[in-house]
Amino acid sequence: MGLLRNLHRDAKLLMASRGIRSFAFSYLNVVFAIYLDRLGYTPVMIGVIFTVAYLSGAVLTALWGYLSDRVGRRKILMLLAILTILSNLILIYFSSLFFILAAVIVANVGAGGSGGGGSGGGPFNPVEEALPAEKCRPENRNQIFAVNSCVGSIMGSLGALASGLPQFLQEDRGWSAVESYKPLFLLTIAFSVVLLFVYRGINEQHQPRKTERKMSKSTGAFVTKMSALSIVDNFGAGMAGALVPYWFFLRFGVELKSLRIIFFASYFLAALSFLSAPVIARKIGVVRTMAFSHGLASLIWLCLPFASILNVAAALIVTRSFFAYMDNPLRASFTMAMVKSEERGSAAGVTSLARIVPFGISPTISTYLMQTVSLTLPLFIGGGLQLINDVAFFLMFRHVRPPEELAASRLEGPGVEKVSR
């Protein structure tokens, strides 16, 4: 609690905004593909819509990260909240393909605006990663990122429960299968208005500056390695995980009231994993924690296709959440530790771009395979690619230690591995 009490006011506001945003985007992530199905779109077309959303989001994410270094974090966050309002207004009033694409391009609503479990993601990601790193001491960075992710995941788990609202409106109030989803879009608009006031309260200490057009050599080398790994990892993640709620819907015919419980439990366990991450990292190191936890999650993905019963599949996906999201705050903290402070927004933007582009391409391939070959094949491909990434990450960074680990090791004595930056 002392850590939070001494935390910079801006970082506290950012945590509050993360919680609000995660609540809204988590229920949209659960229902959006099913909403498109209700509108009459085929699985392949739904995959195309998600691909457009992720690819456009990749470009915009890199752009927002670049601009946040130059015009300020607060202005970009406020702009993103306004774009979220516009996107949800489009979804309320229009359902044609042109307007659906316009909505997901504007703000990635329902398709990547938030990482699973409120772990962050989408256009907000580079700015949300850069700000906390500027508001804490290096030795507290892992904890701050973990608590920030935990807040998002807890609120995301509660938001997942709200995904049952359309089914309630259909069964108890007689609403149509399409109109019953629109109150969720309206609710997101209300949350985005609140976010505008929260972001407005940030008294940003970061002074926007004109940085060099090119990254420094050390930052560029590190970002290149992380981006290459992210391409493999997130192509697999998009194959296996981008449409998990929709996969459950197709495989088991799960209703929204059951889906919301599954993803509430998943996001709640993700919150526990975020709190566990810095504790484990202090004992075995950041790199080992990231590689081993994510590797276990990849192995669980490979087990999921063999689950022919809903309860078994649900247990696997919930268990996987504990391991899969543990590396999220550590990865963000690790990236911010290894780059220069004035390049953090740009670095986060580039690594986010490397995550979102492959994550965006793969849903179209995944839904095509689901529709024409097998519902389970994308899970095998996705889990396999993620496992390859986990092994490669460990081999590539096993001798790399962030500054705070090096400082702690110096206090303990000699025999420290050298950090490469």
Give the orientation angle of helix 327-337 with respect to helix 217-240, to 10 degrees.
160
Give dist(CA 44, CA 366) in Å, integer.
8
- Say what the pLDDT of residue 111 is: 52
Give dist(CA 178, CA 180) in Å, integer.
5
Position 229 pLDDT exceeds 90? yes
Return the residue matching tokens 């590689």: 291
Tell me phi and psi for residue 163, to 5 degrees.
-65, -15
Give dist(CA 228, CA 408) in Å, integer.
30
Return the residue matching tokens 């526990």: 272
pLDDT-derived band of residue 413, with 50, 70 and 90 as boundaries?
low
Of 141 and 85, the structure prediction assigns the larger pLDDT to: 85
- Say what the pLDDT of residue 421 is: 43
Position 336 pLDDT exceeds 90? no
Is residue 297 within 8 A of residue 386, CB to CB? The reply is yes
Q: What is the share, in percent, of the chain residues with pLDDT greater than 90?
A: 28
Position 386 pLDDT exceeds 90? yes
For 122-126, 187-191, 376-380, which range has the lowest pLDDT when averaged over its residues?
Answer: 122-126
- Say what the pLDDT of residue 258 is: 86
- Of 288, 298, 326, 32, residue with least CA distance to 185: 32
Q: 273-299 burial, b for 16+ CB within 10 Å, e for fewer?
A: bbbbbbebbeeebbbebbbbbbbbbbe
How is residue 289 written in tokens? 């924690």
Q: What's the average model confidence in pLDDT over 283-304? A: 92
Position 176 pLDDT exceeds 90? yes
Give the model confidence (pLDDT) of 108-151 as tens digits: 765 544 444 444 455 676 666 666 656 666 666 667 777 777 88
The CA angle 150-86-197, to the nearest 5 degrees, is 55
Give dist(CA 223, CA 221) in Å, integer.
6
Q: According to the per-residue pLDDT averaged within each range, which of 88-92, 305-309, 372-376 is highest?
A: 88-92
Q: Which fold has domain 2-201+218-405?
A: Growth Hormone; Chain: A; (1.20.1250)
Helix (H) or strand (E) holding 405: helix 403-412
Q: What is the share, in percent, of the chain residues with pLDDT greater than 70?
A: 82
Residues 6 or more apart in contact with residue 369 via CB below 8 angstroms: 377, 378, 381
Position 302 pLDDT exceeds 60? yes
Return the residue matching tokens 């809903």: 310
- Say what the pLDDT of residue 138 is: 64
CB atoms within 10 A of CB 408: 13
Give dist(CA 281, CA 326) in Å, integer.
10
Q: What is the residue-averaged pLDDT of the chain?
A: 82
How is residue 48 written in tokens? 């195309």
- Of 64, 45, 29, 4, residue with least CA distance to 353: 64
Of 273 and 111, the structure prediction assigns the larger pLDDT to: 273
pLDDT-derived band of residue 290, with 50, 70 and 90 as boundaries?
very high
- How many CA within 13 A on the CB side of residue 255? 9
Alpha-carbon separation of residue 12 from 17, 19, 104, 254, 331 (angstroms): 9, 11, 29, 38, 21
State the DSSP string of 217-278: HHHHHHHHHHHHHHHHHHHHHHHHTTTHHHHHHHHH---HHHHHHHHHHHHHHHHHHHHHHH
